[in-house]
Amino acid sequence: MSLFTHVEAAPGDPILGLTEQFLADPRPNKVNLGVGIYVDEQGKVPLLECVREVETRLARSPAPRSYLPIDGLPAYNRATGKLLFGDDSPLLAAGRVVTAQTIGGSGALRVAADLLRQIFGAQARIAISNPSWGNHHVIFRSAGFELLEYRYYDPASKGIDEAGLLADLEVLQPGTVVLLHGCCHNPTGVDLDANQWHRVVAVLKERRLLPFIDLAYQGFDRGTARDALAVRLLGEAGVENFVVANSYSKSFSLYGERVGALSFVGADRDEAARLLTRIKATIRANYSSPATHGALLVSGVLESDDLRARWEEELGHMRGRIHAMRAALVEKLAARGAPQYGFFVRQAGMFSYSGLTKAQVDRLREEYAIYALTSGRICIAALNEANLDYVADAIAAVSR
Ligand code: PMP
């Protein structure tokens, strides 16, 4: 009898389980549409040129690695603030934004969850879109939040259930945290348009809710500035307080470096400064301080005009490839008698809710070695010239 004899195994992660099954599949034409990362035309995770350049420079003049400050590398936080809020942001100028480097976007969510739970106490509530990224529920539940859901995706139109969304926000109690995907909604790929954002922001402000923007795919839909629309609109609308968790995992293809940040907007400079002390205390209690390397890479790119331009170009290439794959898939499906998938080009980012049923997803896997999530989520970035026809054949076949 060990001290841990009674410990039961945690439930397995469904996405990781799918990957294991995919890797074990001996069929040569297999395709993994279940992945959650951007892969290039060759199916590889790219190493961006701009990142490689900074890494080369760093290697040329190696530096010792002391601890970073609790809230991370100052240059990284400064650059992040500008990227999210805009170079000329009045909020930044007024000192109302505080930003702390975190362990990926997940770390930002966790630190924010812990801190907001402390601030709001046992009343802490968060409303999450239906559906959402599974870790949203996991993180906020384990931080002690009561979880609520707002309507978001409309399976019939493959678009936004705007009436349902607004109605659900209207009845939330003031002070409820409302988690919104800034762009490239995971898992649906369905985003609010500019008009819908305006209407949502108006309700958030009017109802005194706390907007919490999760921006994990900035630059993957229309470019870094346009994809930060939600953040900019909240500022312009004069919303006193809101929170942003952002991630560079995808936009810099630096998944394993765990680069993200947490920003809080305070009503004034003084409030923001107090919030920063609380963010730091929360980080201290979690992991003490973040890691150096990824932050040096990201800030090295963002702080240099030419590397920044190269990054925007490389990001544009990833974005362009996703758009091209969406268009090609729609065209190929239509040519195979499946015109109902035109909505793929209206969705944003790497993911699409395909509308494929669990039975169709099972058939794709069993008959064609094509792996997708049972929800029907597929990763568009997993498509390339080599597998596109095969995937279109298979989706058209199971859709008949
Ligand atoms: N938010 C969303 C919506 C995501 O999809 C992800 C990554 N899958 C994250 C946050 C977290 O990103 P990171 O890998 O940087 O922790």
pLDDT for 16 beyond 90 = no
Give me the phi and psi of 100, to 5 degrees please.
-125, 130
Task: Dump pLDDT digits (tens) for 214-237.
Answer: 999 999 999 999 999 999 999 999
Residue in the block written with tokens 């312009």:
236
Q: What is the pLDDT of residue 307?
A: 98
* pLDDT cut 90: percent of the chain above it: 97
Contact 105, 247 (CB under 8 A): yes
Element at 397 (helix H, strand E):
helix 388-399
Residue 105 has pLDDT above 80, yes or no: yes
Q: What stretch(es) of the chain map to CATH 3.40.640.10?
A: 67-303
Token readout for 39 is 């892969």
Q: Is the pLDDT of residue 114 over 90?
A: yes
- 216 C-alpha vs ligand 1 centroid, how far in Å? 5
Is pLDDT at 292 greater than 90 in this prediction? yes
Is-cis flag, bond preceding 28, omega within 30? no
Average pLDDT over residues 364-388: 96
Q: Which residues contact 396 (CB under 8 A, 6 or more apart)?
A: 333, 336, 337, 338
Burial class (CB in 10 A: 0-12, 13-18, 19+), 245: buried
C-alpha 282/C-alpha 259 separation (Å) is 18
| Residues 42-60: tens digit of each pLDDT | 999 999 999 999 999 999 9
Residues 6+ apart with CB under 8 A from 262: 99, 100, 102, 107, 108, 111, 112, 243, 244, 245, 279
Whether 197 is catalytic: no
Listed residue (289, 312, 298) closest to 247, CA to CA:
298
- Say which residues have a Cβ less than 8 Å from residue 206's Cβ, sequence separation at least 6: none
Residue positions counted in the chain: 400
Token digits for 151? 């309507």
Q: Treating both helix axes as pointing N-terminal to C-terminal, what angle do 388-399 and 358-368 enclose, rounded to 10 degrees?
A: 130
pTM of the predicted protein model: 0.97
Does the domain at 67-303 match CATH 3.40.640.10? Answer given as yes
Does 62 score more than 80 pLDDT?
yes
- Counting Cα atoms < 13 Å in the Cβ hemisphere of 243 gives 27
DSSP conformation letters of 113-168: HHHHHHHHGGG-EEEEEES--HHHHHHHHHTTPEEEEEE-EETTTTEE-HHHHHHH
What is residue 11's predicted lDDT score, i.e. its pLDDT?
A: 85
Q: How is residue 6 written in tokens?
A: 């009674």
d(CA 378, CA 360): 13
Give the ligand 1 atom nearest the CA of 255. 14
Q: Residue with structure tokens 């995992």? A: 249
CA 3 to each of CA 6, 7, 126, 298: distance values in angstroms, whole numbers, following the listed order: 8, 9, 36, 44
Least reliable range by pLDDT among 32-36, 128-132, 220-224, 248-252: 32-36
CATH of domain 14-47+308-399: 3.90.1150.10
User: Cα dist. 65→68, 249, 255, 290, 292 in Å?
Assistant: 8, 22, 21, 12, 7
Residue with CA closest to ligand 1 atom 6: 216
pLDDT at 397 over 90: yes
Q: Is 311 a catalytic residue?
A: no
Please say if 133 is a catalytic residue: yes
Closest CA to 118 of 99, 143, 138: 143
338 neighbors 374 (Cβ within 8 angstroms): no
**Per annotation, catalytic residue among 158, 250, 280, 332:** 250
Q: Cα of 270 to ligand 1 centre, how many Å?
A: 30
Cβ-Cβ contacts under 8 Å for 229 (sequence gap 6 or more): 182, 183, 194, 197
Handedness of CA 200, 204, 205, 210 (dihedral sign): negative
CA of 299 to the centre of ligand 1 (A): 19
Q: Which protein residues touch ligand 1 with a CB less than 6 Å away?
A: 36, 104-106, 133, 181, 186, 214, 216, 247, 249, 260
Q: Would you say residue 211 has pLDDT above 90?
A: yes
- Partnered with residue 102 across adjacent β-strands are 260
Q: What is the pLDDT of residue 13?
A: 76
CB 333 within 8 A of CB 396: yes
98, β-bridge pairs: 264
**Ligand 1 atom 2: the closest Cα is on which residue?**
216
Please give the pLDDT value at position 157: 93
Delimit the CATH 3.90.1150.10 region(s) of the chain.
14-47+308-399
- For residue 103, give the ligand 1 atom closest to its CA: 16
What ipTM is given for this predicted complex?
0.99
Across 351-373, average pLDDT: 96
Q: CA 117, CA 175: separation in Å to the nearest integer? A: 12
Average pLDDT for 377-399? 97
Percent of the chain residues topping a pLDDT of 70: 100
- Write phi, then psi, for 234 (nearest 5 degrees): -60, -40
How confident is the model at residue 291, as a pLDDT? 98
pLDDT value at 12 more than 90: no
Answer yes or no: is pLDDT of 15 > 80. no
Stretch 176-181: mean pLDDT, rounded? 98
- Average pLDDT value over all residues in the chain: 97
Residues 16 and 37: their CA atoms lie apart, in Å, by: 13
Instruction: Over range 269-274, report the average pLDDT.
Output: 98
Residue to mutate (ligand 1; options 140, 183, 186; most atoms within 8 A of CB): 186
User: How far, in Å, CA of 49 to CA of 46, rounded?
Assistant: 9
